[in-house]
Amino acid sequence: PPAAQRAPPAAPRGALGSGPPRLRSSSVCRRQAVPVAMEKRSAPAEDEGSAEANGQLVDSCAGAASKRARKDGAAVEGAELENLIQERVRQALAARATVHPLLRETFTPNDPVHGLMHLPAIVKVVVDTLTFQRMRHIKQLGICALVYPGATHNRFFHSIGTAYLAHELVKGLRHRQPELGITDRDLTCATLAALCHDLGHPTYSHMFEVFVHGLGREKRAEAEARAKEKGLFRISEAEEAEVLRYETWTHEQASVFLLKELFEELRKPLEEVGLKVDAEGDDFACISELIDPPKKKLEALLDSKNLHSGWSGIIRGRPVEK
């Protein structure tokens, strides 16, 4: 074609205004950055997390460095990019060194879906208690395994997986929305609440709840029959309270009951990771309320448009501002 119609020669990749800068792959960056990062570490390897965790750290730093380079619009080549990644790794390791050992993600159970799940060490402290280990014997799917032999999941690993997903969710929120002011205490409370949400499940899980509620109906019918024989119009207050315990029983109530036992057993390590009661909230109440919130009271406040003003009257875990 005539010279006037020819396309101008393409600018070198990475030139200003010509597209994204030339960046080396994160795998190459990781291979070069890891040795330097490891040399800079002063703490033992087991205190900094697993090799997989460090690999994720370097990949994360590589991604952040690449994003920064694209934003600046400048070409970033080998040595320069490597130095940028190494600086990010040093900063991340320095921040990690200030974290309490029980908050470091050194508990890494292997999940068939998610692979290695990185969780803070305080999770393992809870998992190692007899109260939590009991859930190894509680079937997730009740009696379904009698029909589907492969349906053998248990509440034990289900709870660990729930803790992992909650941990990742809140970490993601904190990273993407720093204006929310999510603290380490908030993250720990959410993680532990997810971990312990099924502590109270009895044998056969939800099937047992059906049994208990049915037993409550039987007890009410018996109590009403006795009252009718005596010429009374209603059962006594003591009998009513006893029947309601069966009719309204939930595994969440049992979970909170066992959770209080755990709080007493693990008071020292929980306080070491920063859980406490102060102006920012009652962390122990927060975990309980996340597991078994007063739903009806909250819904009533929401319907009456008094949720903001009435929050502190029913929720102790966190103030309404949080």
The residues annotated as belonging to the active site are 251
Q: Which residues contact 290 (CB under 8 A, 6 or more apart)?
A: 189, 190, 193, 194, 197, 317
Tokens of 243: 């029947």
Contact 263, 284 (CB under 8 A): yes
Contact 59, 24 (CB under 8 A): no
Helix (H, G, I), strand (E, B) or coil at 112: coil
β-bridge partners, 110: 116
Closest of 123, 136, 49, 132 to residue 93, by C-alpha: 49
Helix-strand-coil percent breakdown of the chain, rounded to 5?
Answer: 65, 5, 35
Closest of 15, 33, 156 to residue 84, by C-alpha: 33
Question: What type of residue is 91?
Answer: Q
Closest of 15, 27, 26, 16 to residue 65, by C-alpha: 26
CB atoms within 10 A of CB 123: 26
Contact 309, 277 (CB under 8 A): no
